[in-house]
């Protein structure tokens, strides 16, 4: 067949080709060239900045609680209106 030189060359190809491929793909140059721009396309950075100061956190928490209270009151009002339209519980 090919002899021991061919077997050594095949062995080196089988071992070092995947290693070289992983080094090339895993390197920072490959990432910067092919991946970095697509990361922002599919996973953009958040548009709103999270509060870091305690006063900002308290203000954001108060806003969230106020919105939650508004939604709860709206839900209760709609539930009462629907109950009034249906005649309420035990109307039959």
Residue 42 Cα distances to 33, 70, 74, angstroms: 16, 34, 36
Task: Look at residue 76 in the predicted model and tell me its pLDDT.
Answer: 96
Could you tell me the pTM of the whole model?
Answer: 0.42
Pick 47 or 4 by higher pLDDT.
Answer: 4
Q: Where does the pLDDT of residue 38 fall: very low under 50, low under 70, confident under 90, or very high at 90 and above?
A: confident
Q: Where are the domains of the chain?
A: 1-45, 49-87
Nearest to 50 by CA among 32, 29, 65, 64: 64
Q: Is 70 exposed, middle or buried (0-12, 13-18, 19+ CB in 10 A)?
A: exposed
Task: Look at residue 65 in the predicted model and tell me its pLDDT.
Answer: 97
Q: Where does the pLDDT of residue 89 fall: very low under 50, low under 70, confident under 90, or very high at 90 and above?
A: low
Residues 45-77: pLDDT tens digits? 778 888 889 999 999 999 999 999 999 999 999
Whether 64 contacts 55, CB under 8 Å: no
């Amino acid at each position: 067949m090919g002899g021991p030189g061919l077997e050594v060359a095949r062995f080196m190809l089988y071992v070092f080709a995947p290693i070289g491929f992983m080094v090339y793909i895993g390197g920072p140059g490959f990432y910067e060239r092919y991946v970095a721009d697509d990361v922002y396309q599919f996973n953009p950075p958040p548009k709103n900045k999270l509060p870091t100061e305690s006063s900002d956190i308290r203000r954001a928490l108060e806003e969230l609680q106020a919105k939650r209270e508004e939604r709860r009151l709206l839900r209760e009002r709609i539930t009462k209106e629907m109950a009034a339209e249906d005649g309420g519980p035990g109307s039959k």
